[in-house]
Every structure is written in C-alpha cells, then in structure tokens.
C-alpha cells in the first residue's frame, strides 16, 4: 500500500511542466484527492490493474494499449448469461479504477455459423445500461476480422491502400531507376503487404493474384525494365515474389514454434507426427483438420 508520505514524496520529485510549479498545497490536494476518491482500491504497485482482470472473469480478456477485448465460446444460453456477468464485472472494475470505457466504441462480433441472439449491455455511470451494437467485422491491430474469419475484405482494403500510394509515386517521380524504386517500394508499398501476412495469409487463387498484382504493376515503374516479363523484372531487381515471401515467413514461424523461441504453444497449431511407419525424421509434423468455429463471441471494447 502507498502511504500519504510516499505519495507526497513522489509528487515533489516530478519536474514542473511549462510555467506551473509544485507547492505544498498542490501535494496536499493530490494526496487528499487520492484518499477520498480511491478509498477501497488497493494501490499496491505490484498489482497492475489490467493484470487483475482475468482473476474475476470466467471469459478471457486481453488488453493492448487502450483497447480491451473479452471473448469466450458460446454454445448455450448459460454461456451468454455468463458473458454478460463478466461484462458487468468489467464495468465495475473500470469504475473502481477510474478507467472508463467508451461505450459508443464497444461492439459485439460473433464468429461462426450461429449468430448471437443475445443483447449484451454495459452499465453506465448514471445507473442505466447501453445496448452494444452487433457488427460483422472488427479491426484489431490493423487486421480486419470478419464474422466468417474470411480475410478477403482485409486484402481488398490493403490493396486499395497501396494502389493509392503507387499512383502517388507514379505522379510525383518523373525519374525512377532501380535503386530509387527499391527504396520507395520496400518502404512505402511492400511494408503494408507484409504486415500481418501470417494472419491474413491468402488461400484462394483470387486473393493470391490480387496481392501479387501490386508488385507486378509496381515493377513497371522502372523504365529500364520496359519490355521484360514479370519474372524477368523481379529477377533484375533481386526481388522475390510476394507468395515466396509469405511461405518463407511461415517456415520461420514454424521453426520458432518448434524450438520454443515464441511464447505460443506449438500444440495449438500442430503436433509431431511420431512414428508413422514411413520414412521421415523426428521433426515431421502432423496438422489436425480444421473444424468450423461454433458460436465464439468477441466483445471489442475501448478504454
């Protein structure tokens, strides 16, 4: 627990900002405000507020910066009611710690073939409750997730974004050689395509072609490569195809999972094949068949 003396010492050590100065009266105001506003809250520095969330929630809660997400698998009415109880507890926690949720930005997204018919609400400071809107997609850390877990919408959005950048480069640069093109392309175009490609990995021929066409069109900016095929242009620029880069990223990630260089559990994605009676090696992998996700509900909230 932080004592009033420790709080006073902390405030006095802070550097003044602009023309404001710290006085003993300022310290008294801050100390009195903390003691009156947070009487029942544990102010132990070892207990970081977000770390306490999963201790009183039956669902899983993840926090990144000022965004919070709570999710669970919903297969019955009881699961929906349990999720609503977690929402009530989350609202109480935010009120205790003075970290108010922006209810207008809070949404409900249901993943799977079964749509949620339950109306989730969040409690307001005034004592009322606001119903959360139900959406079919949500952007998380720049990746657009749809209720069918189909990333075609995200791929289209990303391709449209980089095509605008591509058009800007074509209008603004009257001279373009190979070295200048590589600098601009890698920094302004390919970086957008690389971001999160392990998640939105294109699986259909249509999406693969859509992404590859970005690099195919960009390499035509270099006048000295005019008349060459796409394969010849990327060879002259020493650029691998985008499909090759995605496969390479996947192989690197698999290596990191196998050798426990990441915090993720390998069994979540695949297992070792073991002794199958055929020729192979000890690191041969067995990937389980994918199953349809049934009624998983995600609540995306904003602090």
Whether the per-residue pLDDT at 42 is higher than 60: the answer is no
Whether the per-residue pLDDT at 162 is higher than 90: the answer is yes
Contact 80, 118 (CB under 8 A): yes
Confidence of residue 177 (pLDDT cuts 50, 70, 90): very high
pTM: 0.71
User: Region 210-235: what's the mean pLDDT?
Assistant: 92
248-279 as b/e: b if 16+ CB within 10 A: eeeeeeeeebeeeeeeeebeeeeeeeeeeeee
Average the pLDDT over each of 1-15, 103-117, 135-149, 197-211 and give the range with the smallest value. 1-15
Q: What is the pLDDT of residue 55?
A: 75
Whether the per-residue pLDDT at 297 is higher than 90: the answer is no
Q: pLDDT tens-digit profile of 272-289?
A: 877 666 676 777 887 776
- Secondary structure of residue 190 in the 3-state scheme: helix
Whether the per-residue pLDDT at 199 is higher than 70: the answer is yes
Q: What is the pLDDT of residue 33?
A: 59
**Which of 101, 138, 84 is CA-nearest to residue 302?**
101
Question: Most confidently modeled of 95-99, 109-113, 251-255, 286-290?
Answer: 251-255
- Secondary structure of residue 252 in the 3-state scheme: helix
To which residue do tokens 């039956």 refer? 58
């Amino acid at each position: 627990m932080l004592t009033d003396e420790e709080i006073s010492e902390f405030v006095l050590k802070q550097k003044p900002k602009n023309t404001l100065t710290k006085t003993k009266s300022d310290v008294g105001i801050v100390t009195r405000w903390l003691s009156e506003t947070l009487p029942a809250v544990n102010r132990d520095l070892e207990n970081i507020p977000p770390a306490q969330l999963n201790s009183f929630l039956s669902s899983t809660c993840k926090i990144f910066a000022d965004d919070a997400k709570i999710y669970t698998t919903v297969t019955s009415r009881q699961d929906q009611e349990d999720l609503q109880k977690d929402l009530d507890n989350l609202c109480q926690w935010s009120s205790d710690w003075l970290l108010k949720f922006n209810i207008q930005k809070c949404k409900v997204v249901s993943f799977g073939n079964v749509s949620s018919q339950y109306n989730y609400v969040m409690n307001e400071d005034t004592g009322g409750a606001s119903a959360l809107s139900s959406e079919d997609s949500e952007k998380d850390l720049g990746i657009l997730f749809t209720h069918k877990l189909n990333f075609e919408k995200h791929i289209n959005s990303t391709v449209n974004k980089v095509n605008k950048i591509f058009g800007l480069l074509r209008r603004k640069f009257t001279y373009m050689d190979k070295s200048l093109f590589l600098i601009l392309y890698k920094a302004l175009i390919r970086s957008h395509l690389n971001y999160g490609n392990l998640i939105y990995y294109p699986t259909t021929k249509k999406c693969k072609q859509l992404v590859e066409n970005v690099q195919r069109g960009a390499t035509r900016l270099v006048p000295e490569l005019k008349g060459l095929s796409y394969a010849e242009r990327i060879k002259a620029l020493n650029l691998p195809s985008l499909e090759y880069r995605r496969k390479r990223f996947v192989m690197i990630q698999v290596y990191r999972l196998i050798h426990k260089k990441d915090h993720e559990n390998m069994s979540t994605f695949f297992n070792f094949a073991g002794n199958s009676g055929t020729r192979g090696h000890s690191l041969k992998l067995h990937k389980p068949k994918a199953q349809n996700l049934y009624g998983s509900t995600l609540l995306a909230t904003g602090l």
